[in-house]
Structure 1
Amino acid sequence: MSRLVIVSNRVSIPERSGAAPAGGLAVALQAALEERGGIWMGWSGNSSGEEEPGPLDLKERGKITYALTDLTKTDVEEYYHGFANRVLWPICHYRLDLAEYGRKEMAGYFRVNRFFAQRLAPMLEEDDIIWVHDYHLIPLAAELRQMGFRNRIGFFLHIPWPPADVLFAMPVHEEIMRGLSHYDVIGFQTDHDLENFAGGLKREGIGEALGDGVFSSHGRRFKGAAYGIGIETAAFAKFAQKSASHSMVKKARESIEGRDLIIGVDRLDYSKGITQRIDAFERFVQDNPEQQGKVTYLQITPKSRSEVPEYEAMQRTVAEQAGRVNGALGQVDWVPIRYINRSISRPILAGLYRMAKIGLVTPLRDGMNLVAKEYVAAQDPEDPGVLVLSRFAGAARELSGALLVNPYDIEGTANAIARGLAMPREERRARWRGMMDFLLEHDVTRWCDDFLKDLVPASQA
């Protein structure tokens, strides 16, 4: 059986051998690595300042070697804060207006990918299977191919892939598309993302679909498919049930004083539609005055990429907006919106999901959105809540029991909140059951297995 080598921008290292890291993705990838043995390489999150980074920091955990590298201050600014998060991220989320191009940052992005390849190369064996993750590392396969490696290399994109007219506005889209052609398997979250990719090949005249998910581009053949990522569904459901007795969850339940809880959980990012969501909640309360004092909207939004000016400005905007709504609608004994701008531990979060009558997941664009899946998995089967979900989240392609909304339609989202709160228990149970059955079958382990089944040849399985 061939070794598995995973490369991602950041690496999740368990504290001790055999310990599972937090989060379903890390759990699944660690399990695959434990089965095959292998390497997980990525950025340590640290900067070496202006000096060249030292050697790889190698940490052994059972059959897995975790290989971490520092980056220089310039690398972090140009590769991570620059091109990855100020060009690729907004472009892939359809926000041309927020993309900031700079030749220096573009060069830094490709330079750091070359650096990753150079650091990885001495550790690779001839029959290793390499799995690269996300938009930070699109050119990595091309760098390895140029160094002479012929290993099977797969790539999975965790965020959306935009249509041709959006992608082609990026000055280096040709290099990005050429870089993808050096993989053997390219995975997307949804069939829509795959269609956008295929459409870009055709529109640009640089490739074609050959059938059965096989594509040809830049003289290479490769497979492209949708592999919607899941969560550790059964484990999270048990986790949420147990978390209901957590002391902090009990305090939260007491503090809302019998009111219906509406919950939103998002990293602070302009793609998440948080300001539109607050507007929708305000409209809901205004349109349903009988609900004043009877609902509490809890928005949990940890800070994100605060070094990037746009994110710092957004943090102020969301806080001010929540304050404005509370000032306009609040009463002496009722604060409509509770806004928390920090991370909440997973046990408490699971318990809060289970308490909430409405899970409000309304991104303007999202590759999948695992909060939606965690909310469903956390529910009490006898009395589940209702998921209000943006039709522009990848999860909308899978969770047919959700109330789908257009997050730009403030009134429509407000109406969905009202409908969810008034929904009879039998309808809620029927909607939840269909979604939960899907999530149990299509969990994160199934996602991992499906991708590796296409990437690993039978001779190396």
Structure 2
Amino acid sequence: MSKLIVLSNRVNLPNKQSPKAVAGGLAVALQEALAKDGGIWIGWNGQVVTNISDMPDTVNRFVTEQHDKVTYVTTAFSPIQYEKYYCGYANNRLWAGMHDRTDLIVSSSEDFSVYQAVNRMFAKQLQQIAQPDDMIWIQDYHFFAVARHCRDLGMKQRIGFFLHIPFPQLWVWDFLTYGQTLIYQLLDYDVVGLQTQPDAQNCVAVIEQLLPHAIQITQTNARTLISHGDHTTLIQAYPIGINPVYIHKLASQPLSDLAVLKNLTSTITTILAVERLDYTKGIPERLQAFAAFLRRYPQYLERIQLYQIACPSRLDIQTYQQLRQQVHTLVEQINSQFATASWQPIIYQEDPVSHDNLMPLFRQCQICWVNSLKDGMNLVAKEYIAAQDEQNAGILILSKNAGAAHQLQQAILVDPTNNDSMIEGLYQALTMTKQQREQRHQSLLQGIYETDIDTWRAHFLADLTHMDKPNNPITETIK
């Protein structure tokens, strides 16, 4: 019987999470995707150990655990793999570049070779466990090369790839060392999924420009087929979703985190912002805009409060250390400038909030502000909408640069780099009538239900299954 095998860089083992641990959007989405029919989830367990081999051929390093319907197959990284693959090429180069922050790219000449070695290590593990009829679903920028290594190992299984972050325009690829090699390797996947239609268009355009004589592009509606040698790859947008029914159920439960509860006051409008402490999330820009709002609209002093939850990550990377210090300084300055004896404008928290507590927190906060400078999708925006009480729905302020903005048009869309846009967006949220809030909420909620996590999973896997068939529909040859 065919099974689904998922590979992502990080795997959150259910029994290894602390009570306050909070999974990222990708991890939550994959857990939901696997929960229905089960499968195998492969990846890094988050540990770095010195007594483990750097060699990609070491597959007996993997540990298997079973939880409900999901089999978890995980490994630790060696210090070199963590430094060169994870911190180096994947995050200091690919993450930075693919979010248009080429100014932050830092990596050594060895990073790419270790990136390839880690991709091959996971490919060899897939070879060990995959049966001929299994479908393999590779997740995100850490693994552009896995399909190439799988094919080199003789694997014929259907292999799909989903990129959770933005696919940048051509100019960025000039800064991504060995970028053309990655694009070649990408075409060994059967299906390449992107978050939005602009991402899919960027992907096709980059392939067309970097490999002009090696491919043939065929298009039908929003589907693009790229033939490379005797292999065909489908390029298409599959906007990732959430489980709105489950989110709404969680949000209906009491908020049990006492540390969070003490930060909520019934007489003050709470503006919630929750994300990883990452330079793509627009945290300094939000803080500066919030301070500017208080100066422009002083009548809101002591009436509103920004509750900023920023969970530190990747602190082994200098850019993230510097961002953390910048955010701390801004919070201190703003609170020092505006605080009174009984009120401070910003509550800043780095301790994570568990998913079970985050959903009722969403419901209790009147405004959620997502300010990403660039974001593949942003599931916080969708979760906030799903968590609301329909009779007293909160308002979503959403960066126009988040992938979610393509679907959530009834949110208050702002430019995260423009103070006036953010200030007036916040003012609009604070002055909106209950009827206006409810109308917007109903429209947003309908879209979230129509493109939920089951739809994302079903559409992608249906296309991956279809690519196993010899006759693909082709209507118009472009090149």
- TM-score interval, normalised by the smaller of the two chains: over 0.9
| Alignment check: 8 A CA contact 1:117 1:144 kept | yes
1:431 aligns with 2:423: no
Q: Secondary structure at the match of 1:382?
A: coil
Provide the residue aligned with 2:367 in structure 1: 358
Tell me, which stretches of 5 or more residues in structure 1 are unaligned?
none
Q: What is the Cα deviation at residue 22 of structure 1?
A: 6.3
- CA displacement 1:271-297 (0-9 Å, x = unmatched): 000000001111111110111111111
Q: Return the alpha-carbon distance in structure 2 between the equivalents of residues 37 and 376 of structure 1.
A: 28
Please give the TM-score of this superposition, normalised by the length of structure 2: 0.90
- CA displacement 1:185-230 (0-9 Å, x = unmatched): 0000000100110111222225453012233253231111111111
Provide the residue aligned with 2:475 in structure 1: none
Q: Secondary structure at the match of 1:339?
A: strand
Provide the residue aligned with 1:46 in structure 2: 47
Q: 1:199 aligns with which of 205, 210, 215?
A: 205
Provide the residue aligned with 1:164 in structure 2: 170
- Identity level (%): 36
Provide the residue aligned with 1:281 in structure 2: 290
Q: Secondary structure at the match of 1:45?
A: strand
Q: 2:345 aligns with which of 326, 336, 340?
A: 336
1:180 aligns with 2:192: no
| Alignment check: 8 A CA contact 1:28 1:445 kept | no
Cα gap change, 1:110/1:272 in structure 2, threshold over 3 Å: closer, same or farther? same
- Number of aligned positions between the proteins: 454
Cα gap change, 1:101/1:211 in structure 2, threshold over 3 Å: closer, same or farther? same
Residues 320-399 of structure 1: pairs in structure 2 closer than 5 A: 320-399=329-408
Residues 8-407 of structure 1: pairs in structure 2 closer than 5 A: 8-15=8-15, 26=27, 29-30=30-31, 33=34, 38-49=39-50, 51-52=52-53, 55-204=61-210, 205=212, 206-212=214-220, 213-219=223-229, 220-243=231-254, 250-253=261-264, 256-407=265-416
Provide the residue aligned with 1:4 in structure 2: 4
Q: Return the alpha-carbon distance in structure 1 between the equivalents of residues 62 and 116 of structure 2.
A: 20
Q: Return the alpha-carbon distance in structure 1 between the equivalents of residues 452 and 32 of structure 2.
A: 14
Superposed CA RMSD in Å reads 2.2
Tell me, which stretches of 5 or more residues in structure 2 are unaligned?
17-21, 470-479
Deviates more, 1:191-200 or 1:31-40: 31-40
Q: Return the alpha-carbon distance in structure 2 between the equivalents of residues 124 and 348 of structure 1.
A: 37
Provide the residue aligned with 2:474 in structure 1: none
Please give the TM-score of this superposition, normalised by the length of structure 1: 0.93
- CA displacement 1:323-356 (0-9 Å, x = unmatched): 1011111112110011111211223322221122
Partner AA of 1:130 in structure 2: I
Q: Secondary structure at the match of 2:361?
A: helix
- CA displacement 1:23-70 (0-9 Å, x = unmatched): 775566456556655422111222231541653211123553221122
Deviates more, 1:314-323 or 1:234-243: 234-243
| Alignment check: 8 A CA contact 1:159 1:366 kept | yes
Cα gap change, 1:22/1:47 in structure 2, threshold over 3 Å: closer, same or farther? closer
Q: What is the Cα deviation at residue 459 of structure 1?
A: 8.3
Cα gap change, 1:167/1:445 in structure 2, threshold over 3 Å: closer, same or farther? same
Q: Return the alpha-carbon distance in structure 2 between the equivalents of residues 334 and 251 of structure 1.
A: 13
- CA displacement 1:58-83 (0-9 Å, x = unmatched): 11235532211222111111100110
